Amino acid sequence: MSAGQWAVVLGVSSGTGAAIAVEVARSRGLDVFGMHRGRYLEQAERVEREVAATGRRILMHRGDAGTSEGAAQGAEALLAAAGPRSVKLFVHSLASGSVGRFVSGEKDQLHPKQVERTFNAMAHSFLYWAQALVARDLLAPQARLLGLTNPLTESLLHNTGVITASKAALEIYVRHLALELGPRGHRVNLLKFGTVMTPALRHVYSPEALARLEEAHARMNPAGRMCTVQEVARFVSVLVGQEVDWFNGATIDFTGGMTLRLLDLVLNEKG
């Protein structure tokens, strides 16, 4: 493959990562390097077809992107395929986390391995990939590095403590990397959005539970509905443009006012 401008999307096989890959290929003309663990093979093949239909190239690499070893292997594969200074956009869309309580003493108490795996996938790997891309001179001029987060960092949902803690760590990594990479012309940001309907959700929840989830989000969101993966993907595409070059080290609120609505519901209940 000849060199060009590429988007690196982790967690590309389904959900938000898949939607982002297709959108930036279509609207920004970026070739796509996707990394996934092979859990959703049919969805990954669909992403390949949809990106190819835009006329852009796509290279799928199977491996565990949530480890330092996986980051190094993925970066080497990308360097061989795309060449140096080819990555315009890097999106960290890994969502491999454990739920459970910290000190319950019951079956749902988190094991140290679960804590370690969650932090590696949802926080540390963002740093590992940044290091791997910089070490191999893969970042194009004015590259964008983007992490994804959610409003859990503003709540205390009982069994998501380790996920919330890892997202808080991710925010700190984003801020420090923004300081370190900013003088080189790169931008590092975090995009916060609410729950979106993905294959992973459909796999975990029954149709009845999904209906309750959608109803709850209709009450939580001022728009009266859930956000969609396509809406998130379109905004990520906007972040590639020069118009938003001044965003750096930012946690960008794309929740549609969900946290405002939650506060309103609480106050009304108390009133």
pLDDT reported for residue 2 = 42
pLDDT reported for residue 268 = 63
Cα–Cα distance measured from residue 225 to residue 241, given in angstroms and rounded to the nearest whole number: 28
Cα–Cα distance measured from residue 142 to residue 87, given in angstroms and rounded to the nearest whole number: 10
pLDDT reported for residue 42 = 87
- Per-residue pLDDT in tens (0 to 9) along the chain, 271 residues: 445 799 999 999 889 999 999 999 999 999 999 988 877 788 889 999 999 999 999 999 999 999 999 999 999 999 999 999 999 999 999 888 788 888 987 788 989 999 999 999 999 999 999 999 999 999 999 999 999 998 877 777 677 888 899 999 999 999 999 999 999 999 999 999 988 887 766 766 678 878 887 888 888 888 888 899 999 999 999 999 999 999 999 999 999 988 776 555 555 655 4
What are the structure tokens assigned to 90, written together?
């890097």
Note the residue count of the chain. 271
Cα–Cα distance measured from residue 227 to residue 196, given in angstroms and rounded to the nearest whole number: 6
Q: What angle do CA 92, 95, 100 make, to 5 degrees?
A: 145
- Please list, in sequence order, all residues whose beta carbon lies within 8 angstroms of the beta carbon of residue 252, skipping any fewer than 6 positions away: 189, 190, 191, 192, 239
Domains in the chain (CATH in brackets) are 6-198+231-256 (3.40.50.720)
Cα–Cα distance measured from residue 25 to residue 97, given in angstroms and rounded to the nearest whole number: 28
Which helix (H) or strand (E) segment holds residue 222: the answer is none
Cα–Cα distance measured from residue 109 to residue 96, given in angstroms and rounded to the nearest whole number: 17
What are the structure tokens assigned to 55, written together?
């006329």
Residues 252 and 190 sit within 8 Å (Cβ to Cβ): yes
Maximal CA-CA distance, the chain: 63
**Selection from 18, 19, 59, 148 nearest residue 95 by Cα:** 148
pLDDT reported for residue 127 = 98
Q: What is the pLDDT of residues 239-255, one digit of tens each?
A: 999 999 999 999 999 99
Cα–Cα distance measured from residue 155 to residue 43, given in angstroms and rounded to the nearest whole number: 32
- Region for residue 161 given its phi and psi (left: phi exceeds 0; alpha: psi -120 to 50; beta: otherwise): alpha
- Region for residue 241 given its phi and psi (left: phi exceeds 0; alpha: psi -120 to 50; beta: otherwise): beta
Residue 138 CA to chain centroid, in angstroms? 20
